[in-house]
Amino acid sequence: MRIAHCVFLILLLHGTVLVAQNKQVLYDFTDIPQALMVNPGMETDFQWFAGVPFVSGISGHAGSNGVSVNDIFAADGLDINDKVRERLVGALTTRDEFSATARIELFNGGFRSAFSNIFYSFGAYVELDNITYWPQDYAFLAFEGNAGQLNRSFDLGDLKTRGSMVAVYHFGANKKMNKNLTLGARAKVYSGIADYNSTNNSGLLVNTEGENNILSTTIDADLKLRTSGVQALDDAVEDDALPGTLLKRGLLGGDLGLGLDLGFTYRLGDRTVLTGSLLDVGLMYHSGDIESYSLNGSASAEGIEINVLEELADLNRDFWQHLVDEIEESLPFETTNSGYVTFRPIRLNASVRHDFGKTIGPEKDCDCRVSKVNQRPPKYANAIGAHLFAIQRPRGPQPALTGFYQRRFGHFLALKATYTIDRFSASNVGLGINVQAGPVNLYVIGDNLLSYQNIAASNYASFQLGLNIISWGRKR
């Protein structure tokens, strides 16, 4: 199998359409229907909405917390080999990551029940998620080799990478339980298109003084790479059949899984609001087009050893192949086709918001036929608050903390500015713009705006945009 070709293919797909894992600008931006996707328990005041297919939700994120493109490829007169040695091999550790995630909505919509006042939402999207931690000792071996590294133990557990491409079909319900509490839940069906992961590796490689030669090399390895659907995509590229393969596996023809989103909004008063959500609590069973590779065992070698007196009559023998055979017997490389289970990367959101300024909405245009429980709460011209985000990753949770300010200009225009501190940046300034022109809703969100003057020098870039048709059913 052309495994390098397959991995490159998935990374290429990751770079085609990119989604921010942390949607801190979109979160609790209640004027935008897509904010339901990050909190199914968000307060809603529209009767129905319909996203324009394929353009209702496009977003992107790519980041590296340890190095930027500019650090390696800038035209600064320095030799690129020196920059790789100093800024990658000599500087990065196993805590440094390269990640890219992606989502594009295929369709998205929602409507409010006339009988129960429950707001239902539904849709489908394609999501990609990739993270690779810097394999520190592997990089040193590849760039410097192990010559002159006597007794240094190279950790084979440094290799941690995971990626997936999945179609998600979802249906959610959102209900205002009383005048203070709104709850929401969303069920998801995952249709896996491709998956690869190599996260539970261990072992070492070490050089010691040899008895018969100068050096003895010992390797003790327990390595595994699991893939599903990767071979099918690789074959589809070779046969010019990639669109059909993607469609087949995305329409429940690949691996299957189930997931759940939960969320709430709770009002401490008219002006102070608490929210929270837990997203992608789910798993997938990978059973189709499985190819897993493992290397498990221990072996020691001192190179090719020849006793001239004993081997004089057989010097034409392939001593190198004999050495390879001995190592392969002690350290077998195996390929299997057994199914496996993966868990989705769980995301946690929590926020507190304080509204102030003049009111915009139902205090002036109240529909008195609606019960107090189901009446829409007033919206205010201004809001400030804080948002905590965390995502589960192979090396542990990754948190981010955001402060935000929101400003509404009537029902036509709303702005939200954010300042975020996370592992990628301590000066991440974001801005969201939401425009409501009659029933047409357009939003554009940019993150880490200070880096846009030189994207190549940035460790992080993110964007979101979408187009919807919204109806409030009655005057807002």
- 196-234 tens-digit pLDDT: 999 889 988 887 776 666 667 788 889 899 999 988 888
Instruction: Of 348, 186, 350, give the one whose Cα is nearest residue 265.
Output: 350
The average pLDDT across 446-461 equals 66
Q: How many angstroms separate the Cα of 15 from the Cα of each of 62, 96, 103, 327?
A: 8, 19, 11, 39
pLDDT number for residue 447? 83
Look at the domain 3-471 and name its fold.
Porin (2.40.160)
CB atoms near residue 78 (< 10 Å) = 12
Banded pLDDT at 414 (limits 50, 70, 90): very high
Joined tokens for residue 32: 């935008």
Which tens digits make up the pLDDT trace of 32-91?
999 999 999 999 988 999 999 988 888 766 666 666 666 666 666 777 777 777 777 777
CB atoms near residue 73 (< 10 Å) = 11
Banded pLDDT at 257 (limits 50, 70, 90): very high
Q: How many angstroms separate the Cα of 471 from the Cα of each of 55, 155, 379?
A: 18, 58, 17
DSSP 412: T
Of residues 69 and 236, the one with the higher pLDDT is 236
> Is 470 within 8 Å of 49 (Cβ atoms)?
yes
Joined tokens for residue 220: 């003790």
Which tens digits make up the pLDDT trace of 161-173?
999 999 999 999 9
Name residue, tokens 């205010």: 380
